[in-house]
Amino acid sequence: MGKKSKLRRAEKRQLKEDITEEDITIYVKGDGSMVMEVKGEQMATLPPEMVPWTSFKQAKLPDTAAGKAVSTPHDSMDPDEVTCWINSRYQVIKYENVPMLQDTGVSLSWLSIKRRDKESCHDWRDFQRIKNELCGDERFGLQVYPAESNLVDTSNQYHLWVFPEGMVCPIGFAQRLVGGGDRDTDLGSKQRPFEETPPDAKSTDELEEMSREIMKTKEVE
């Protein structure tokens, strides 16, 4: 081993010994990235998708958001029912009592979502969590893939329309099933680990056994 390698190792050991918790500062920048400083020097930066999730807090509306409420096709929307919410990863503009394009008498909540660094993203779990935290666990939300004649695609902004509580969406799954992430399955699927594992999450072993039972039932039929 060369003298330089030994010297670098000695410097690392000395640095580790000298650092205390008081020397480390961690903060989230305006773009959503997380920075760690050691003794005032920037040592590492995490992109927004790796920053730990924090609860949403209401923030001041951006200058364009309040005006946006009255410039949409929904002329009856009230600018006073527009709020801005921010956490460690996302900024969400929330519009309440949004009428449907066709007169159905049903009003929705509209969530306009963007990542704080304004980069593109499409994390289903994050969007589900945003819907839960800002509108409620038991409300249905929809993301629209429209006809090209109604397409709006001008920025890295994503939209969820959330039905009122108690209104059942006519499409989707009829029951809940979550799990996996502890290992790759033997059945050709893959699941990433949960940031916070749901209490009713099935293990990969349990999911594989359920799949085998379903396949056996189909074979009998």
Predicted confidence (pLDDT) per residue in 116-141, tens digit: 888 898 899 999 999 999 999 999 99
Domain count of the fold of the chain: 2
Same domain, 151 and 182: no
Is position 126 within any domain?
yes
For residues 212 and 210, give the distance between their C-alpha atoms in angstroms, rounded to a whole number.
5
- Boundaries of domain holding 136: 57-162
Same domain, 105 and 186: no
> Has residue 25 got a pLDDT over 80?
no
Is position 46 within any domain?
no
Same domain, 77 and 140: yes
Same domain, 121 and 184: no
> What CATH number does the domain containing 70 carry?
2.60.40
pLDDT at 149: 94
Boundary of a domain, candidates 162, 184, 205? 162
Same domain, 78 and 128: yes
> Of 65 and 60, which is predicted with more confidence?
60
Per-residue pLDDT of 157-194, as tens digits, reads: 999 999 999 998 888 888 898 988 878 777 777 888 88
Model confidence, pTM: 0.76
Per-residue pLDDT of 209-218, as tens digits, reads: 888 888 777 6
